[in-house]
Amino acid sequence: MLPIISIVGKSKSGKTTLIEKLIPELKKRGYRVGTVKHASHNFDMDKKGKDSWRHKAAGADTVIVASSERIVMVKDENFVQLESIEKYFDDVDLVITEGFKKEKKPKIEVYRSHKNKKPLCNDDKTFIALVTDTDISVNVPTFGLEEIKALSDLIEKKYL
C-alpha cells in the first residue's frame, strides 16, 4: 500500500516550508515523492482567459493540460478523500499531503508556540511526530524545525 503522510498545523505554521525541506532530503535518499495540497475553497489552476480555463468555464468536468514536461489536471469532485486520488500516484514511493487533518492517515504536526495553545497530536493516535520551535512534552517523537534528516529517518524507517 502506498504510504501517505499528512503534514498538518495551523495556518502560517510552516507546513509548506517543512514539505519543501523534506522532499529534497527524501529524493537524495532515492525515493520518488508525490504531494497533495488540500484547498479548503474553490480554486483555479489557470488564469482567466487561458485556453484550459476557458474549457473549464465552458463546462468541462475534467481538464488536462499536457506538455512534454508536465501534466496538470483539474477535475470536478464533490468531496475528495485521499483514497480517491491514490491512483494518480502509481509512480511514487511516498505521498506527502499538506492538510487533510481529518483523514485517518499518519500525520506530522507543525506546532509553533505563538500560533496555538496546545498541539493537536496528544488527542489523536494518527500523529507520528511533532515538529516545533519550542521544548514541549508530547506523546510522539519531537523534532526541531531544522531537524529534517532525523525526521526523514523516522519516515524512512516506518514507511519506506
Domain annotation for the chain: domains and CATH numbers: 4-40+78-159 (3.40.50.300)
Q: How far is CA 115 from CA 13, 39, 40, 110, 118, in A?
A: 7, 20, 20, 10, 9
Mean pLDDT of 118-145: 89
Residues of the chain with pLDDT > 90, as a percent, come to 46
Q: What is the mean pLDDT of residues 61-78?
A: 80
Would you state the pLDDT for residue 40? 62
If pLDDT is split at 50, 70 and 90, which confidence band does 32 have? very high
pLDDT at 160: 95
Q: Where are the alpha helices (DSSP H) in the chain?
A: 15-28, 51-57, 82-85, 148-159
Q: How far apart are CA 109 and CA 66, in angstroms?
A: 34
pTM here?
0.85
